[in-house]
């Protein structure tokens, strides 16, 4: 599945055409309605046009503005579109950092080609993102607000003046950045703190992904269709759908996040961190998922960390009945989901066919693994720990 066009210009982030906004917007305050809208973007955006004849044009940084697309644009009809979710972090040392942006670039390239859109050198995406943050970072993530972040959305869409189910002859890569509510900082006083998410296990009449499909790529096509189930779950007071697959009801993903459970193995009694495998191509290869697994293997698999006992990391198919049985037998220690937008969040319970399964530990609390992993990741993101997963952004003065 190589790149579709050859002998045309590659994506090249070494040069830019820059047009400055002369109408800078007020930066919204944390928790403000503007921030909660998930659409109040920063002053600038990056766009790169692609055509089948000339390949990638020179990237542009320009004032945030509407896109003018023909009514035939293939992204409006055939969902030729894919995206990434990533964040830029204002460190406690005053520096700006991206987190593993190479992985987002690689995945965007894979997703783009899976949706018949052009491929590119994955490395260039982080440079495009860094350029946008070099310009908008200083104002939108002020140095006096360390520990804050912006959400970044690189997107590739099929464009073009012709209709027809075919490889788009025009495409647009664009990157926008938006303040994103940090719900962990928004607890009101006196509010009961929830112990975790409530998940609603999907029924067989709604399946997110299928082998030979595209559940493993970040295509728009995976999101809109999932909303119906998600809406039903929310209307019943649940936070997310837990997507099950197959006759054996395999646990795949939770909403748009990856799902983890920590339990004592039914046969050996040994402590394990289990998540669904990538090989079945049913789940998204999350950047946070991968980071959780790598940190757990490196830091949690041999010695105690505080009161946290060492565990073994296992990527394997797991079923809802295994979780149910583990809960009945008191073997569950903790459960959580991971993703860029909502980071790492403990799971309190799962409802499966009217059966409520508690996924908290024995004392009704999460054991603290999720919190520990989250704090390690935050230390890297916000520069408390030097780590090669952090990619520094040099800002304009």
Partner 1 sequence: MKTFQQLTRRKALAGLATSRLTSHSFAVHRSWQRNFGVTAAVASQQLADLDVSKLSVTKTTTPKELTPNKDLVFGKTFTDHMLTVEWTATDGWHSPQIIPYQNLSLDPSTCVFHYAFECFEGMKAYKDKNGGIRLFRPNKNMERLNKSSARIALPTFDGEALTRLIGEFVKLDERFIPDARGYSLYLRPTMIGTQKTLGVGPPGSAMLFVIASPVGPYYPTGFKAISLEATDYAVRAWPGGVGDKKLGANYAPCILPQLQAASRGFQQNLWLFGEEEYVTEVGTMNLFLAIKNKETGQKELITAPLDGTILEGVTRDSVLALARERLAPQGWEISERKIRMADVAQAAQEGRLIEVFGAGTAAIVSPVRNISYRGQMVDCGLKQDEEAGEIALQMKSWIEAIQYGDEQHAWSIKI
Give, in order, the Cα–Cα distances in Å from 197 to each of 133, 202, 320: 32, 15, 17
CA distance 136 to 177: 9
Which residues within the stretch 254-313 sit at the binding site for partner 1 (CB under 8 A)? 256
Min dist. Cβ of residue 256 to partner 1 (A): 7
Q: Select the span of 6-14, 193-201, 212-220, 325-333 touching partner 1 (CB under 8 A).
A: 212-220
CA distance 313 to 273: 5
Q: Name the residue nearer to partner 1 (CB basis): 173 or 308.
A: 173
Site string for partner 1, 343-382 (x = CB under 8 A): ----------------------------------------
Tally of CB atoms within 10 A around 379: 15
Q: Name the residue nearer to partner 1 (CB basis): 153 or 331.
A: 153
Min dist. Cβ of residue 238 to partner 1 (A): 12
Contact with partner 1 (CB under 8 A) among 51, 104, 110, 113: 113
Min dist. Cβ of residue 61 to partner 1 (A): 13
Q: Name the residue nearer to partner 1 (CB basis): 250 or 359.
A: 250
Q: Name the residue nearer to partner 1 (CB basis): 163 or 295.
A: 163
Angle at which helices 369-381 and 287-299 pack, to 10 degrees?
Answer: 110
Say whether residue 213 binds partner 1 (CB under 8 A).
Answer: yes
SS3 120: coil
CA distance 140 to 179: 8
Site string for partner 1, 220-239 (x = CB under 8 A): xxxxxxxxx-xxx-xx----
Say whether residue 207 binds partner 1 (CB under 8 A).
Answer: yes
SS3 314: strand
Q: Select the span of 50-58, 154-162, 289-297, 358-366 touching partner 1 (CB under 8 A).
A: 154-162
Which residues within the stretch 76-105 sit at the binding site for partner 1 (CB under 8 A)? 76-81, 83
Give, in order, the Cα–Cα distances in Å from 8 to each of 12, 50, 74, 110, 117: 12, 10, 21, 19, 14
Tally of CB atoms within 10 A around 72: 13
Say whether residue 142 binds partner 1 (CB under 8 A).
Answer: no
CA distance 257 to 338: 5
Q: Select the span of 68-76, 283-291, 309-317, 362-370 touching partner 1 (CB under 8 A).
A: 68-76
| β-bridge pairing 250-254 and 240-245 | antiparallel
Fill in the DSSP letter of residue 141. S
């Amino acid at each position: 599945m190589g790149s579709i066009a050859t002998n045309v210009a590659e994506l090249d982030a070494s040069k830019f055409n820059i047009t400055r906004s002369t109408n800078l917007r007020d930066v919204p305050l944390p928790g403000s309605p503007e921030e909660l809208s998930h659409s109040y973007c920063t002053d600038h955006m990056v766009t790169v046009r692609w055509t089948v004849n000339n390949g990638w044009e020179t990237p542009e940084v320009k004032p945030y503005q509407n896109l003018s697309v023909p009514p035939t644009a293939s992204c409006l009809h055939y969902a030729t579109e894919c995206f990434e979710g990533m964040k830029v972090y204002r460190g406690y040392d005053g520096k700006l950092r991206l987190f593993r942006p190479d992985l987002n670039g690689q995945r965007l390239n894979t997703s783009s080609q899976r949706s018949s859109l052009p491929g590119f050198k994955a490395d260039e995406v982080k440079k495009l993102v860094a350029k946008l943050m070099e310009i908008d970072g200083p104002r939108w993530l002020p140095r006096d607000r360390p520990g804050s972040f912006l959400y970044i959305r690189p997107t590739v869409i099929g464009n073009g003046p012709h209709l027809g189910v075919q490889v788009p002859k025009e495409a647009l890569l664009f990157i926008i950045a938006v303040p994103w509510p940090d719900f962990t900082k928004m607890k009101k006083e006196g509010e009961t703190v929830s112990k975790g998410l409530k998940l609603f296990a999907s029924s067989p009449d709604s399946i997110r992904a299928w082998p030979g499909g595209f559940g493993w790529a970040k295509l728009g096509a995976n999101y809109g269709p999932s909303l119906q189930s998600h809406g039903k779950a929310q209307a019943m007071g649940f936070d997310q759908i837990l997507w099950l697959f197959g006759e054996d009801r395999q646990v795949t993903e939770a909403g748009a996040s990856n799902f983890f459970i920590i339990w004592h193995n039914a046969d050996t009694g040994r402590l394990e961190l289990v998540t669904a495998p990538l090989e079945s191509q049913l789940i998204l290869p999350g950047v946070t998922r991968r980071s959780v697994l790598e940190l757990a293997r490196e830091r949690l698999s041999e010695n105690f960390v505080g009161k946290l006992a060492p565990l073994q990391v296992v990527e394997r198919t797991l079923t809802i009945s295994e979780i149910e049985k583990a809960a009945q037998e008191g073997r569950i220690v903790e459960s959580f989901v991971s993703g860029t937008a909502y980071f790492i969040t403990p799971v309190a319970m799962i409802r499966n066919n009217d059966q409520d399964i508690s996924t908290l530990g024995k004392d009704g609390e999460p054991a603290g693994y999720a919190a520990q992993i989250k704090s390690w990741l935050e230390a890297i993101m916000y520069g408390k720990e030097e780590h090669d997963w952090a990619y520094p952004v040099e800002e304009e003065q």
